[in-house]
Structure 1
Amino acid sequence: MADAPRDSELVQTAQAKVDLSVFSLDCVKRAAYRVTGNAAVEITLCDGFAVCIVSFSKAVTRASADAAIERLRLEVLDQDLRATIATETASVRNAVLALAFSRSGLQSDD
């Protein structure tokens, strides 16, 4: 009898390494929070990488674990892009908010 395919193997954890010279630790933390639906994510730092251990609440197939790691990696990229856009648009956002509050009547003219 042949061994079961690797994708159907049940696992309790999966791991991803994120290069901190490319992505910030804040982005990794935000991404980890976003993918914690059925798992917990532990982040440790090692040699310039954020090592993310994803612990599933119950055993999942290797294919499901790989999919969860892929979601984590995509979410890290998404969080990084959100941070970049926020930085690039901060001055415009602040100007819009300042204009909105200047006309709101919330500030006194003193």
Structure 2
Amino acid sequence: MTDSSHGGELVQSAQAKFDLSVFGLDCVKRAAYRVTGNAAVDITLEDGFAVCALNFSKAITRAAADTAIERLRLEVLDQDLRGTIASETASVRNAILALAFSRSGLQSDD
């Protein structure tokens, strides 16, 4: 990412791009929300990419900004995998819920 000679430089923002043919926009939005602890995230679309600009509430070192970008990238991957697992297990989850509700007495027998 950045060599150690620039680790002390202070920055107010950092940027990451995500290919929308790999990651869905919803996935990127969820990840951005999860990493907003010390930065606001602006998302724009450019040529098939979601461009995330992290705007830090106060100037931080380049090394800390790189760490924030790495955290965002990992969170995007995590959200993508969560979405994949949710879609792959939806039928089983729905069957379990249907069985649970059918035995709960909450539904009428109409």
Could you tell me how far apart the structure 1 residues matched to 2:81 and 2:106 are?
34
Q: Offset of 1:69 from its aligned partner? A: 0.2
Q: Give the structure 2 partner of residue 77 of structure 1.
A: 77
Q: Give the structure 2 partner of residue 99 of structure 1.
A: 99
CA deviation digits over 1:28-67, x for unaligned, max 9? 0000000001110000000010000000010000000000
Identity %: 82
Q: Give the structure 1 partner of residue 37 of structure 2.
A: 37
- Matched residue SS, 1:52: strand
Note the aligned Cα RMSD (angstroms). 1.1
Could you tell me how far apart the structure 2 residues matched to 1:62 and 1:104 are?
56
- Matched residue SS, 1:8: coil
Could you tell me how far apart the structure 2 residues matched to 1:107 and 1:80 are?
35
- Matched residue SS, 1:37: coil
With normalisation by structure 1, the TM-score equals 0.95
Could you tell me how far apart the structure 2 residues matched to 1:46 and 1:75 are?
21
Q: Offset of 1:5 from its aligned partner? A: 2.8
Q: Which runs of 5+ in 2 are unaligned?
A: none
Aligned length: 107
Q: Which runs of 5+ in 1 are unaligned?
A: none
Could you tell me how far apart the structure 2 residues matched to 1:105 and 1:58 are?
55
With normalisation by structure 2, the TM-score equals 0.95
Q: Offset of 1:108 from its aligned partner? A: 1.1
Could you tell me how far apart the structure 2 residues matched to 1:108 and 1:19 are?
48
Q: Give the structure 2 partner of residue 10 of structure 1.
A: 10
Letter of the 2:93 counterpart: R
Could you tell me how far apart the structure 2 residues matched to 1:7 and 1:22 are?
30
Q: Offset of 1:109 from its aligned partner? A: 1.5
